[in-house]
Structure 1
Amino acid sequence: MFCCSIYFPEIYTWCYPVMFEVNLRGTKFFSSSTAVQHLLENLSKKSRAEILADGSYYLDRNPLIFHHILDFYCGGEFHLPRNICPVQAQKEMEFWMIPMKEIPVCCYETLHDDKQTEYKTIILDEGSSEGKHPFTLERAVYSSTCSLTNIRSKLLHALNSPLKSWLGKIWLFIVAVFTAVSITVFLLESSALYRVQRSGQPTNKTYELFGHNKKLLKIMTTKTSFEMAFAELLSNTVLMFDLLLRFSISHKKKQFCKKPQNILEFMTEMIIYGFSIAEYMVDDDEAVENFSYEMSLWLQVLYSLRVIRIFRIIDTSSEMKMLKLSLLKSRNEICLFITVLTSFAFIFGSCVYWAEFLNPDTYPNIFIGIWWAFVTMTTVGYGDFYPKTTSGYLVGVLTSTCGLILLAMPIAMISSNFSKIYDCYNFRKIHLKKVDLKNRTPLLYHSMESDSL
């Protein structure tokens, strides 16, 4: 064999492949695969690998995944270890020129089960107001030299992160109190006990125009008391000041004006001022009789928009922000759920209509059947319409069973998205707290670490 290797090297290499060494940060691997050797030679030509004096190859790469790379180039399948980061796995595959199509089904979860999307969503939400993270903004407050910039930064930090400063907590309390006052006044105004009679006595024409609807008649013949109107205007003024203050200190005023919540709040403030003026302009009988029924209805609907102010208070809670992000991330699942639920409601609504066709007391048309299908599939069950025949009972059983199945699947996906985002938020919050503590008090931070060790 020794003589054969001297006089006939090609035959020896063909019969007994030559072993070569691969060194990855001190971890040595040995292989005889010509495919691996050709790959290493190509990498050395691109200055990604180094050929040492003894003929071995050195690469400054993580050796964790190289066993699996050798398996792939030696004729086997490429499998990923469970304890590897998906981002690192994709980078290693790109470096070792392994195509994505070679990944087997059993490794899909390892390669693609990363939480980059959730973290990016949380980071974008944290900096959506002014493009800065709260900790970065807080440090900018203390490093600012200009007094106006310092005041603006403090106000911006207090409004965007009210729970992180005393100024923000005080202002949040004030806004919450006046928001509660405004909503309480709105609720009390719907009761006749807290309304006062308009000047004069209602005429027969008033009863003729609005007597068919007691709710509308109550609104047209009574008005808000002076005390409640004053509380309404005061709370509306404070909330309008809060909105204008946010706009004035914002660094991105165009984005602020395009935000739907800000647009709705501004419309609400203007509508409340306009409604309060119209409430006292329409005071006598002649004005009430000439007042448009449709105008009154639309004013009441728009006047009810004030309840959206509570979202400003809720939005200060991080948990509610995560809920909002999870719903936005689950919009495809929600759209799928609505589409499937609507489709099955049309199917079962039509079925129950024809199943009860010979019974004149149930389901006068298919639209009522669709309403019944929606109520049954969502497990509400008002009982205003229900089947009375055997065929109708059978359709009802199928409808309720399909409703349970349709509700279970998308709700599980939505709750899974919320769980992922909430977990990512908690991990990021703990990490940022440690980073901020280390930046502010590095000596104390290191001493705490040494004590824990």
Structure 2
Amino acid sequence: MANQRLSDTVTLSVGSVLFKTTRSLLKTFDGTLLSNLDELSTEFDARENVYYFDRDPELFRHILNSYRLKEVHIPRTVCPLVFKKEMEFWSIPIQMIAPCCWQYLYESENNLADLNIVMNEDNDYKKKWSKHNHVIPGEKDVATSAEMQDGTGQEIHKKGIEENGSRRSKIWLFLEEPASSTAAKVWYYFYIFVVLVSVVLYLIWLVPSVRVSRYLSTLDQDSIDVFSLNSTAYEDLQKTYNEKIMMAGGTDPHPVLLAVDVFCIVFFAFELLLTVSVCPNKKAYFCDIYNLIKVIVCLCMTITVVMEINKDILKENNRVAHFMMACRGLASLRLLLIFRLRKIFNSLHIMLVALKHSLKELMLLLFTFLVLVVIYACLIFSAEIESDMFPNTQLTMWWAVITMTTVGYGDFYPVSTFGYILGVVCAINGIIVLALPIAAIAGVFSNLFSRNSEFQRHKKAVRDDKGVLTAKT
């Protein structure tokens, strides 16, 4: 009996630390590395009757303990991803991990996945620029500490660009990459300033205080100049048209206002044409949504100014007038040009990345919302069949959207008891449906923002460490 117990004993040397256990215990998890140990194993030393493994003994204590507990518990003092690799070495299936450790493991995996997204964005950005320009913007050569302090490190970087890049590449860097030089950063901020000025002009374009009597075109007998009308004619005109139409058709913008707007158009068009002419990859350039928006904004701004100068055409053809208003509406996309700041403010870029990686949540939100809109539209239409409040299902869908978003314009509303109940349920359901996916999207942004902060801090620490080592040598 004693010999049988002795033969059942197994001695394991893990990282020069001896562990003694029994074969019956190691057979607890079938198919694992330890359960398949025998005298033919490559790790077995017949002279000493010991199995040798070059692994971490501290981690192996928890691996061996899992055979006793019949489940795996991940120690909080160890990176769960390292422990997962240790489990893979010992061939322990992942389903043996205890439920109490799931959060610890999968949170680490999610954090690593988010960090990989941030790092891949950074790597793709560097590859994009180094491929076409042979330099990586923002990555200055490591100089001495004195050079870094007095700014000559930047001069070294500029010299590297001049040597490695062609004239087209330097212009491209100047226009598109603010980290390439101080002048490029100044240009970048000036571009944003012009965008803001253009947006302000758009907002005040039809304000009466910045409109003047018509001067852009010769007035014929059918033309109207609002500011030249007497009070009686002005009041009669108000009965037919609202103030917006009166200002748009019967006045012209102040000359200074028009001159600044034309300058913005010329500026955007010149920047676009110059950028396209020096762009190393025009197909990739126009595949970027941001660049397509620039093209649309330039075209729409130009069309609206041309129509402004020839506004009598709008009176003769309603389709042309509607086309101008559509172009004017699309010209409001100029505000999106402010997202050019994403290359300077990394957090803004992370917000866009978070939206990109939240498409599943957004599609879930849209799908669920549309299904409920149709359901409540049909229910309220049936509930209010005896009233004249909802003549068709298109209006009931409008009501459902407004109610679920808790806006409640009050233009259409139920009048029956069952309709009131449906309205309450629809509003509450809308709050719940909208809140759940938005929380998930916010979580994605929060995780990516945190990982990006850690990544940027690590990059700065690496650069500082290289600078210190270079200074010592």
Bin of the TM-score, shorter chain as denominator length: 0.7 to 0.9
Native 8 Å contact 1:202 1:221 kept in 2: no
> Which residue in 1 is equivalent to 2:289?
260
> Which residue in 2 is equivalent to 1:450?
none
User: 297, 300, 308: which one pairs with 2:328?
Assistant: 300
Rounded to whole Å, the distance in 1 between the matches of 2:41 and 2:283 is 52
Offset from partner CA, 1:147-197 (integer Å, 9 cap, x none)? 362987877666666379633442222112211222222222233443442
Rounded to whole Å, the distance in 1 between the matches of 2:456 and 2:40 is 41
Offset from partner CA, 1:266-292 (integer Å, 9 cap, x none)? 232244334434543x26x47852573
Structure 1 stretch displaced more, 49-58 or 171-180 = 49-58
> Which residue in 2 is equivalent to 1:344?
372
Offset from partner CA, 1:121-145 (integer Å, 9 cap, x none)? 2123334444269677333936837
Rounded to whole Å, the distance in 1 between the matches of 2:57 and 2:284 is 47
> Which residue in 1 is equivalent to 2:202?
186
> Which residue in 1 is equivalent to 2:305?
276
Residue identity matched to 2:11: E
Alpha-carbon shift at residue 434 of structure 1 (Å): 0.5
> Which residue in 1 is equivalent to 2:182?
166
Uncovered stretches (5+) of structure 2, i.e. residues with no partner: 28-32, 131-135, 142-155, 226-235
> Which residue in 1 is equivalent to 2:421?
394
3-state SS, counterpart of residue 353 of structure 1 = helix
Rounded to whole Å, the distance in 2 between the matches of 1:368 and 1:31 is 76
> Which residue in 2 is equivalent to 1:238?
267
CA 1:275/1:357 → structure 2, altered by over 3 Å: closer, same or farther? closer
Native 8 Å contact 2:178 2:343 kept in 1: no
Rounded to whole Å, the distance in 1 between the matches of 2:38 and 2:279 is 57
CA 1:268/1:23 → structure 2, altered by over 3 Å: closer, same or farther? same
Rounded to whole Å, the distance in 1 between the matches of 2:431 and 2:410 is 18
1:5-154 correspondence runs (5 A)? 12-13=3-4, 15-33=5-23, 35=27, 37=34, 39-40=36-37, 45=42, 49=43, 51=45, 54-73=48-67, 76-113=70-107, 114=109, 115-131=111-127, 137-139=139-141, 141=157, 144=160, 146-147=162-163, 149=165
CA 1:91/1:151 → structure 2, altered by over 3 Å: closer, same or farther? farther
Residue identity matched to 1:186: Y
TM-score by length of 1: 0.79
3-state SS, counterpart of residue 18 of structure 2 = strand
3-state SS, counterpart of residue 399 of structure 1 = helix
Rounded to whole Å, the distance in 2 between the matches of 1:299 and 1:19 is 85
Root-mean-square deviation (CA, aligned residues, Å) is 3.8
Alpha-carbon shift at residue 433 of structure 1 (Å): 0.7
Alpha-carbon shift at residue 335 of structure 1 (Å): 1.2
Rounded to whole Å, the distance in 2 between the matches of 1:219 and 1:390 is 47
1:393-432 correspondence runs (5 A)? 393-432=420-459
Native 8 Å contact 1:337 1:406 kept in 2: yes
Native 8 Å contact 1:141 1:150 kept in 2: no
Alpha-carbon shift at residue 341 of structure 1 (Å): 1.6
Residue identity matched to 1:144: G
Rounded to whole Å, the distance in 1 between the matches of 2:287 and 2:372 is 37
Rounded to whole Å, the distance in 2 between the matches of 1:165 and 1:103 is 53
CA 1:257/1:359 → structure 2, altered by over 3 Å: closer, same or farther? closer
CA 1:265/1:391 → structure 2, altered by over 3 Å: closer, same or farther? same
Rounded to whole Å, the distance in 2 between the matches of 1:59 and 1:342 is 59
Rounded to whole Å, the distance in 2 between the matches of 1:126 and 1:97 is 35
Offset from partner CA, 1:219-251 (integer Å, 9 cap, x none)? 344444443333223223333444455556655
Alpha-carbon shift at residue 85 of structure 1 (Å): 3.0
Residue identity matched to 1:119: L
Rounded to whole Å, the distance in 2 between the matches of 1:289 and 1:212 is 16
3-state SS, counterpart of residue 137 of structure 1 = coil
Uncovered stretches (5+) of structure 1, i.e. residues with no partner: 6-11, 447-453
Structure 1 stretch displaced more, 95-104 or 411-420 = 95-104
Identity of aligned residues (%): 26
Alpha-carbon shift at residue 424 of structure 1 (Å): 0.5
> Which residue in 1 is equivalent to 2:233?
none
User: 333, 338, 341: which one pairs with 1:310?
Assistant: 338
Native 8 Å contact 1:22 1:29 kept in 2: yes
3-state SS, counterpart of residue 357 of structure 1 = coil
Tell which has more relative contact order, 1 or 2 (C-alpha 8 A, sep 6+): 2
Rounded to whole Å, the distance in 1 between the matches of 2:46 and 2:175 is 61
Q: Find out whether 1:326 has 2:354 as its counterpart.
A: yes
CA 1:370/1:287 → structure 2, altered by over 3 Å: closer, same or farther? closer
Native 8 Å contact 2:138 2:179 kept in 1: no
> Which residue in 2 is equivalent to 1:440?
467
Native 8 Å contact 2:314 2:321 kept in 1: no
Alpha-carbon shift at residue 318 of structure 1 (Å): 1.9
Residue identity matched to 2:402: V
Residue identity matched to 1:118: D
3-state SS, counterpart of residue 387 of structure 1 = coil
User: 381, 386, 390: which one pairs with 1:363?
Assistant: 390
Rounded to whole Å, the distance in 2 between the matches of 1:419 and 1:42 is 53
3-state SS, counterpart of residue 140 of structure 2 = helix
Structure 1 stretch displaced more, 299-308 or 380-389 = 299-308
3-state SS, counterpart of residue 52 of structure 2 = strand
Residue identity matched to 2:71: E
3-state SS, counterpart of residue 29 of structure 1 = strand
Q: Find out whether 1:199 has 2:199 as its counterpart.
A: no
Aligned pair count reads 428
TM-score by length of 2: 0.76
Structure 1 stretch displaced more, 230-239 or 65-74 = 65-74
Structure 1 stretch displaced more, 60-69 or 136-145 = 136-145
